[in-house]
Structure 1
Amino acid sequence: MAVSQTTGSTGNESFASSRLSPLKNQPHDLSFDDSAINETTYLEENDPDYNIDETTASTTSDEDDDDYTSEVADMESTESLELDDNVENIKPAFNVFASPFFETGSTTNLLLDTHRRFRKFVHKYEIPRKGFHTSIGFITLYLYTLNVQEQSIAKPLSIGLAVVFLFDLVRLNWKAFNGLYCKVVGVLMRESEVDSWNGVIWYLLGLTIVFATQPKDIAVMSTLLLSWSDTTASAIGRKFGHLTPKIARGKSLAGSLAAFMTGVVAAYIFYGYFVPYYPEVNVNSKLAWTPETSHLNLHTLALLCGFVAAVSEGIDLFNWDDNFTIPVLSSIFLNVTFKLAAKA
């Protein structure tokens, strides 16, 4: 019996060996045949949800109302907000220091904490930002009535420019400080400014150049066009821009018309009221325009200022920030026109 089992075992091994021997000597080809993949095969690199092209991330345009509406709708549906009937009990789960941005440095699509909290008030209509923007014009007129000269304003503007630039330089290289900075002044910021230079830098740079190089009345008028016309153009363009043609990148006809009308009103306010009713503040200053020294009357001047406001607001010059281009271009346009219209 034992002999039989041994013989059977040996026979089975011999049989298996004879059947597998051709495979032992045959080379193994483990290469992958790409032709076996059909067109419906899933590839990660072809999946738009897998690849995120940061270069095409959208930035908020002043007059793109549809983008803002969709963003607000997304915020309203997000699960990161625990809503209560009382607005004060809104508790955003967004922690600026725990955000992935402060791990990776990418903030292209980051919504600031204040934008989540106040939604349309801050994010869509930018009420605090526009309120601050508009107040600069009233502050400028108040300083004009106090007989503050343009050279005296240029110095503090340049100091403010240096301070804001230093803050931005630090925060853009120090993630924790950037988080604290955005948490404190985020109500005045746009998402695009979280990881890029603050628009206030361009604002101060433009006004510093204007007050350092232009006559008092041109400097004041350029500030009013920046403060009031640009704000009105942004607000009206954002609300009604989709109903009118676009005349430039992010600029609509509705916004340009609003800038024109605001420029006309600003000219009447300054040249029609402040200049004649505060003559004592111009004793030591030579104004670029007066009805006695120019061929332009007040009404023509107002239309000119409206035109300058619309053009300077609508021009996209080398993709520079309009907080810089509006006051600088406005001052140049007004200065050249006043000289051409001056009486001999």
Structure 2
Amino acid sequence: MKEDYYDILGISKNATAAEIKKAYRKKAIEFHPDKNPGDSKAEEMFKKAAEAYEILSDANKKARYDQYGHAAFENGGGYGGGGSMNMDDIFSQFGDIFGGAFGGGGFGGFSGFGGGGGQRRAKGSNLRIRVRLTLDEIALGVEKKVKVKRKIQAEGVTYSTCNTCGGSGQVAKITNTILGRMQTAATCSSCGGSGQMIDKKPIDADAHGLKVSEETVSIKIPAGVEEGMQLKVPNKGNDAPGNGVPGDLLVAIETEEHPTLKREGNNLHYDLYISFSDAVLGTSKEIDAIGGKVRIKLEAGIQSGKILRLRSKGIPDLNGYGQGDLLVHVNVWTPKELNKEQKDFFERMKGNDNFEPRPEKSDKSFFEKVKDMFS
């Protein structure tokens, strides 16, 4: 069981953005590897805290986590697993959290960051695509293979250390303030933060030593995703110059409309129209469902507006909390035109006690049915 992000940072679900930031800063200082050399548990906590902050500090990711939990970021959906973020991702947060007080890199020279003047690995840009899913694919989960054009490192490119930043990827900036001279760090404009400059490159490479290549990427989409949800495939975005970290492939989910089934949360709705004769005599009908057709029995005397619930025939919960239902709405179709024989029959039935409406207590009103649906 993965740890709750709020528990990791020691905050409540109602914590403000400022409280989330303050809690992460406290954890980062407490478990920083430079303060706990050789302590694998402290390093693991350091990564977990960074992962928690990455999600909770982003309003969209936080909303998805609050609704779906860790499942919103599994199977290519983002971070998970306690420490899947690399140190480059983690230290990239520190400029915001610590305000440049540690040279943009934290404390000392861990992994080549910070005041030690080590090289900061640049990260490539992210790519975004859209994937359309059928209702069956959403309900069952699917693996999609898509072709993506991404920039990759061209063969034959050689680099040398950037003369401007000395390979650190950052340059010091001195600012005179009323409190005195303050030093901050900024990304090197000459090398873009990679710490390297191109010596030579092939003719098909761009100014950064990259070229466009088409690649087939496999995307595992978990059952239960919704329209507008975004999944992430790590390291399948554009490469970064030199020995940088590749960007990510962000996958936006779109859904195709089903001809007969309508989704509401994890439940599915189906409108079944039957004749007056079928309602009176009873019948069985074949209807659409996830994975194929199912046959249902309609008892004699069934009323229009009756809702039949097929348990666990809906959409699986993304968090793994069971499965929704398929709700079949029975609608008795009243014929608009009748021949003479049919009209004569119904004329004779006027005033017949058996044709007079006598709703029972179990026959709920329209408003009661609506109330039940929303509860």
**Range of TM-score over shorter length:** under 0.3
> Which protein shows a greater Rg?
1
Q: TM-score, normalised by structure 2?
A: 0.22
More strand, by proportion: 2
Structure whose residues are more often helix by fraction: 1
RCO greater where, 1 or 2, for CA within 8 Å and sep 6 or more?
Answer: 1
TM-score (norm 1): 0.23
